[in-house]
Amino acid sequence: MNTLCAPNLRAALAGVARESVHCGLNQGASGNVSVRSRAGLLITPSAQAMAALTADDMVEMDLAGAVMGEGRPSSEWRFHRDIYAAFPAAAAVVHAHSPFAVALACLRRDIPPFHYMVALAGGMDIRCAAYATFGTQALSDAVLAALRDRRACLMANHGLLAWGHDLPDALALANEVEALCGQYLRACQVGEPVLLSTAEMAEVLEKFRDYRSPR
């Protein structure tokens, strides 16, 4: 987990929020980002443009959902909190309304093993979570089900979500999932992609166990 002190952690979170816009994952006030903190989590605020966020805008919460200090947290705070409770290795979460992920999520399709980089999310495929209204516990429950043994998922008629071992790791995985969505959609326009077998994906997953350098 990131060991930055609180002011630097706030600045790092705001920086990743702004970067999510610069790299095309989010636009306007869409999406949200969080990082695990000593007290619980820091999360981006509700209804503010991501590209303009600063360290002072970040909202701190405990894992019971109570706000510590000032600010109104993202309406999606429930799945951030629940991810940290369910996955001890999760130190940061990036949620995005990126173009290709939204397009595929609106089809409510999983990402199958059409490319070996699908394994970067932790399994043989990347699931699409069932639809539920944004900000609800029902959505958080659907997300957790889709994330079983995974670090990323799509969210039906909504977007994508990725968790990482720190903020850069979560952002990098979100970017990779968006790229995979674009590649899969393009391949489907030409024909049905040839999928890797269970044995081929198992070999990739084994290689990926040692791929990520220790943090």
Q: pTM, whole model, 2 decimals?
A: 0.94
Tell me whether residue 215 is in a domain. Answer: no
Annotated catalytic residue within 76, 178, 203, 206:
76
**Which pLDDT tens digit goes with each residue over 63-95?**
999 999 889 999 999 999 999 999 999 999 999
CB 60 within 8 A of CB 69: yes
Alpha helices in 87-148 (DSSP H): 99-106, 137-146
Question: How far are the Cα atoms of 88, 168, 176 from residue 160, in angstroms, in the given order?
Answer: 21, 16, 11
Domain count, the chain: 1
Tell me whether residue 158 is in a domain. Answer: yes
Tell me whether residue 214 is in a domain. Answer: no
Tell me whether residue 15 is in a domain. Answer: yes
Minimal CA–CA distance to 90: which of 14, 152, 134, 137?
152
Active site residue 76: yes
pLDDT, tens digit only, all 215 positions of the chain: 444 556 799 999 999 999 999 999 999 999 999 999 998 999 999 999 999 999 999 999 999 999 998 899 999 999 999 999 999 999 999 999 999 999 999 999 999 999 999 999 999 999 999 999 999 999 999 999 999 999 999 999 999 999 999 999 999 999 999 999 999 999 999 999 999 999 999 999 999 987 654 44
Q: Which domain holds residue 120?
A: 6-208
Looking at residue 57, which CATH number applies to its domain? Answer: 3.40.225.10
Tell me whether residue 21 is in a domain. Answer: yes
Helix (H, G, I), strand (E, B) or coil at 33: strand
